Amino acid sequence: MPKDADRNPIAAGLLGPAAAADFLSPREDANPVAIFDCQSCGACCSYSAEWPRFSTEDDAQLDLIPAKNVSADESGMRCDGVRCSALTGEVGKRTACGIYEIRPDVCRACMPGDDDCLMARKAHGLPV
C-alpha cells in the first residue's frame, strides 16, 4: 500500500466536518445513526500489543517511523502495555496518532465501524 493511501474516509483532512459527521456504521445490526469518529475513540490503537505489526511496508516507509515508536524486535510499533506508543490522548474521549502521516499500513487499513473497530470498542466499554 502506498504511504499516502488511506482507506479511512473520515481521516483527518480527507472529508470536511459535515461529511465526516455523515459517516454511518456499515453494520446492519448497528444503530443506523452510530458514528465512529477515530479522534474521539482510539480503541483500536490501545487494544493489543500484538496488533500494530509491520507487514507490507517497505524499508523507506519504516525508516520514517521514529525509533522511539518501534518495538525492540523491530516487528511493529512499540506498545506500553496494549497501547501504541504513538497514541496520544485518552481513549474514548480525544485521541490522535503522533505519527499519523507516516503510520504503518496496518493502521491505515483500520476502518471505523469494521469488525476490528467494534471488537476494540467493546473491549474498552465504548458503544457499538
- Cβ neighbors of 2 (< 8 A, separation 6 or more) are none
C-alpha–C-alpha distance, residues 17 and 72, integer Å:
38
Q: What is the pLDDT of residue 1?
A: 40
Looking at residue 14, its amino acid is L
pLDDT the model gives residue 46 = 96
The predicted pLDDT at position 18 comes to 37
Query: 98 or 110, which is more confident?
Result: 98
Q: Are 44 and 104 in contact (CB under 8 A)?
A: no
- Cβ contact 24:10 at 8 Å: no
Percent of the chain at pLDDT > 90 equals 65
